[in-house]
A and B are shown apart, each in its own frame.
Chain A
Amino acid sequence: MSQMSFIEIDKVKKTYKTGVTAIHDLSLNIEKGEFVFIIGPTGCGKSTLIKMLYREEKPDKGTITIGGINVCKLRNGKVYKVRRKIAVVFQDFKLLNKLTVYENVAFALEIFGLPNSEIHAKVLKSLELVGLKSKAKSYPNQLSGGEQQRVAIARAIVNEPRLLICDEPTGNLDENTSMEIMKVLESISSMGTTIIMVTHDTDIVNKLKKRTILLDSGRIVKDYKEGEYVHESI
């Protein structure tokens, strides 16, 4: 056998209690440092797939290994161990409105008991990367949607995760703002972080020309290599 990939999804199946099978026998390998888009129509299983990656859901069959850890075998009480290596960005940002931008980002570090000086340096570095250093003292609801998403990304990367999962991060944003977010993500990718992004926005996929996985009805329809995917829009 060849060397293990960073993420190995092996014959995974997931059926919800309602009887809906979201993922059928899906296998997929993702290498370290890759930037992968997952696209497909609504209800094709995209969200279920990434939820299983950050262990919000458990597959019924098959195994998921991330960086050598079998995620499926983790008990609920130990999930945090994976979460510290994987960061997730959502469509609805999931920021705490009662905390400032700085506090929102620092939140992810404080639980590790780092000294304040180190937290300060890391948070500022992270905010600088997303271009929001000047808004550190603002509250989330004083920011635009794009800025809020950048705060969420800053929080996600402050801990230097090995994998960044983005669940439609541009879903609520207009075209220009979306491209700003994508630039931020690309720069994070260039630093070696593996990124998996679920999206509906085929324009973004077309422009970035990354590996693209098309899902439908819980199966992989096509795995496009970098630059292969061209959306057949009219």
Chain B
Amino acid sequence: MFMKVFRIFGRNIRDAFKSVFRNFSLSLASIACIIITLIVVSIAMILSFNVNNFTDKVEKEMTIVAFLDRDVTLERIEEIKDEINIVNYIENFSFQDKMEISESMMESSTDYRMFLEKYTTRETNPLLDTFHIKVTDINKIEEVANELSKIENVNSVKYGEGMVEQLVKTFDVVKNISYGVVIALVIVTAFLISNTIKITIFSRKREIEIMRLVGASNLNIKIPFIFEGLFLGVLGSVVPILVTIIGYDALYKQFNGQVISPFIQLKVPLPFTYNISIVLLCIGVVVGMYGSWRAVRKYLKI
């Protein structure tokens, strides 16, 4: 019994492979259709992921700055650290002593040096001790800022109010649109490919008719066609995968990994393009199989 199933399976794969080549011109039509649509899908995905990558990065860079009162003591600062720790949605935070700040400011410009040199002790330093706080969820930034401002000795809290909310909203819209475009493209691709395969199978109505006549069950008839769809999908996704891997790498090198300004970074090609390739292969295979299955079903009386 097992051997029998195994033999039928093996023959189905062999027949599927043969018929891809025996019906080469038709197979080519299906493969070309898969190639073109998958390249479009690939481009859309690369764009979408890069936009999302950029927005994610920007969101991650968003920091809340909390300034402390000028007269706060070092002991009190340690207590404030503990108090910040218990606030929700905080990813991490860092403390900058006002003496450190004045050091680095003096190094950065002689004008600052002239001005700051006179203040050599904590007590006289006109600057404020600061905490830099990063949040886990950008949508909670306002809430976190409010919590932080309630802590005693926290003088003021800044996070680019207004601008941040606006930016996050815009990014969300952009992300949703880009996901929507990719999903729509995948659906259109599925439809297009399955229709092309359907047309190519139409010419093989006779083959299906004869299979039925000699006593092939519906499953007997369907399986080789489904395997054929699988082969078409695999063959059709080879070119888009190569285009994606080689093309994106070339693009990345051409632009030195950034677009317009160093602020907008491209995603590093590896493993990004490999992941996209896997998705392309899956789309090709699934859509190829589905297309064949849908096409054969039409000629079977079920």
B217 within 8 A of A: yes
Q: Contacts A110-B11, A113-B7, A113-B8 hold; do A76 and B214 have CB atoms under 8 A apart?
A: no
Closest to A116 in B: B7
**Contact among B5, B209, B215 with A111 in the assembled complex (CB-CB below 8 Å):** B215
Contact across chains for B215 and A108 when beta carbons are under 8 A apart? yes
Closest to B15 in A: A110
What's the count of A-B pairs with C-beta under 8 Å?
A: 59
A96 within 8 A of B: yes
- List residues of chain A with CB within 8 A of the CB of B212: 79-80, 83
A108 to B214, CA, bound (A): 6
Query: Least Cβ distance of A78 to chain B in Å?
Result: 8
B210 within 8 A of A: yes
Q: Contacts A76-B302, A77-B302, A96-B207 hold; do A155 and B214 have CB atoms under 8 A apart?
A: yes
- List residues of chain B with CB within 8 A of the CB of A79: 212, 301
Query: Least Cβ distance of A133 to chain B in Å?
Result: 20
Contact across chains for B209 and A94 when beta carbons are under 8 A apart? yes
Contact across chains for A83 and B214 when beta carbons are under 8 A apart? yes
**Contact among A80, A98, A110, A155 with B218 in the assembled complex (CB-CB below 8 Å):** A80
Q: Which of A60-91 contact B (CB under 8 A)?
A: 76-77, 79-81, 83-84, 87-88
For the side of the interface on B, what is the size category? 20 to 34
**Contact among B7, B209, B214, B215 with A115 in the assembled complex (CB-CB below 8 Å):** B7
A124 to B23, CA, bound (A): 27
A82 to B214, CA, bound (A): 10
B211 within 8 A of A: yes
- List residues of chain A with CB within 8 A of the CB of B3: 113, 115
A110 to B209, CA, bound (A): 16
A181 to B302, CA, bound (A): 35
A98 to B27, CA, bound (A): 15
A227 to B5, CA, bound (A): 49
A88 to B214, CA, bound (A): 8
B260 within 8 A of A: no
**Contact among A88, A111, A116 with B8 in the assembled complex (CB-CB below 8 Å):** A111
B220 within 8 A of A: yes
Query: Least Cβ distance of A116 to chain B in Å?
Result: 8
- List residues of chain B with CB within 8 A of the CB of A114: 7
A126 within 8 A of B: no
A94 to B11, CA, bound (A): 22
- List residues of chain A with CB within 8 A of the CB of B302: 76-77
- List residues of chain B with CB within 8 A of the CB of A115: 3, 7
- List residues of chain A with CB within 8 A of the CB of B220: 80, 111
- List residues of chain B with CB within 8 A of the CB of A95: 210
A224 within 8 A of B: no
B216 within 8 A of A: yes
Contact pattern, B 200-236, Cβ under 8 Å of A = 1, otherwise 0 = 0000001101111111111010000000000000000
B4 within 8 A of A: yes
Contact across chains for A83 and B218 when beta carbons are under 8 A apart? no
A113 to B223, CA, bound (A): 14
B158 within 8 A of A: no
**Contact among A77, A81, A94, A113 with B210 in the assembled complex (CB-CB below 8 Å):** A94
Contact pattern, B 1-38, Cβ under 8 Å of A = 1, otherwise 0 = 00111011001000000000011000000000000000
Q: Contacts A98-B22, A113-B4, A113-B5 hold; do A80 and B216 have CB atoms under 8 A apart?
A: yes
Residues of B participating in the A interface, judged by any CB pair closer than 8 Å: 3-5, 7-8, 11, 22-23, 206-207, 209-218, 220, 301-302
Residues of A participating in the B interface, judged by any CB pair closer than 8 Å: 76-77, 79-81, 83-84, 87-88, 94-96, 98, 107-108, 110-111, 113-116, 155, 159
Q: A76-B301, A84-B215, A113-B8 are in contact. List 16 more A-B contacts (CB 8 A).
A: A77-B301, A79-B212, A88-B213, A94-B209, A94-B210, A96-B206, A96-B210, A110-B8, A110-B11, A111-B211, A111-B217, A113-B11, A115-B3, A115-B7, A155-B214, A159-B215
